[in-house]
Structure 1
Amino acid sequence: MTLIDLRQAIVNRVQENSKEQLNEVIEGSIGHDERALPGLGVLFEMIWKQSDSSQQTHMVESLYEHLHQEGTENPSPS
């Protein structure tokens, strides 16, 4: 039996998806069952690794701004 790590299993699951299907995977995972969060993390990791430092800085700034907006609620544990 071959052991596949979680990252590879997630990549294998979406690797052949079209752009529209990838969008559906992301949209269908956001704000729903927390079991999808590791998958989103793997997809974000792929984006992060392919981004240059300027793009990474933009993502961090965007996240920081979102986290520090007045009235922003932190996700509640389910």
Structure 2
Amino acid sequence: MNLNLRNAIIHNVSGNTQDQLEDTIVDAIQNGEEKMLPGLGVLFEVIWKNSSEEEKKEMLTVLESGLK
């Protein structure tokens, strides 16, 4: 992924409220468009980098369960 795209995505959502962030995520998932996947990936990267080891393990458990 181009670093400029990553920075643009972060810039576009910086300062958003939790409700706005949720709307962005829900809209991207419901829309189902491939072009939204990089944005969701960047948001997940931010979540991952700012999570504790315990939170990461919990996310991995949820992910593993959802992929079964």
Please give the TM-score of this superposition, normalised by the length of structure 1: 0.76
Q: Percent identity?
A: 42
Pick the structure with greater CA Rg: 1
Q: Deviations over 1:22-71 (max 9, x none)?
A: 11100000142111110000000000001111110111111111111xxx
Which stretches in structure 2 are left out of the alignment for 5+ residues?
A: none
Q: Which has the higher helix share?
A: 2
Which stretches in structure 1 are left out of the alignment for 5+ residues?
A: 69-78
- Give the number of the structure with larger relative contact order, counting CA–CA contacts within 8 Å between residues 6 or more apart: 2
Separation in structure 2 between the aligned mates of residue 10 and residue 45 of structure 1, nearest angstrom: 12
Runs (4 or more) in structure 1 with deviation over 2 Å come to none
CA RMSD for the aligned pairs? Answer: 1.2
For these two proteins, the number of residue pairs brought into alignment is 65
